[in-house]
Amino acid sequence: MRKMASLALLALALGGCATTSQSPYGNFVQSAALDQQKLAADAVQQLATLYVPARTRLELQQPTPDPFGQALVKTLRDKGYALLEFTPAGAPAQASASATSQPSPAATPAVPGGLSLRYVLDQAGDSNLYRLTIMVGSQSITRAYLAQNGVFAPAGSWVRKE
């Protein structure tokens, strides 16, 4: 138990480990061999305990081209969240249109009262310890994970910062 707690604290202390010049948010995990769908499902399950799915509107504040981001968007929608995807400032509506007949995020009117949603998925150096932080509005939840045989396993409990 003591080892697990110290691993969780180490993961939480890795604040500036992985950043880019464009955005401090996103997926900084280089390995595509890891199953990030499980992380997204775990994160949405925790979000559902804090924010009622059918009554919560979320607005992504970052692009989600990575495996975790795509899994998170799909899982949030499957769970029943109203989700406005990220559209870069100044991007024309036609640039976001997909081949399917769904309206682009830029063409969909923003719903007032949505909570901003951002995430950071990063790794502690070359170890198999990872950290997932989901920021909703001004609050965040964080959990440490260990990667074993291509699968993520929780390395501690969710920590909520208000």
Q: pLDDT of the chain along its 162 residues, tens only?
A: 555 555 444 444 444 444 334 568 887 787 666 788 999 999 999 999 999 998 999 999 999 888 999 999 999 999 999 999 988 776 654 333 333 334 444 434 444 568 999 999 998 888 889 999 999 999 999 999 998 888 889 999 999 987
Does residue 85 contact residue 50 with C-beta atoms inside 8 Å? no
Distance between CA atoms of residues 5 and 101, nearest Å? 48
Per-domain residue ranges of the chain: 2-14+35-85+109-161
Q: Which of 75, 90, 72, 87 is nearest to 135 (CA)?
A: 72
Distance between CA atoms of residues 32 and 96, nearest Å? 25
pTM flag (> 0.75): no
Residue 65, phi then psi, degrees to nearest 5: -80, -10
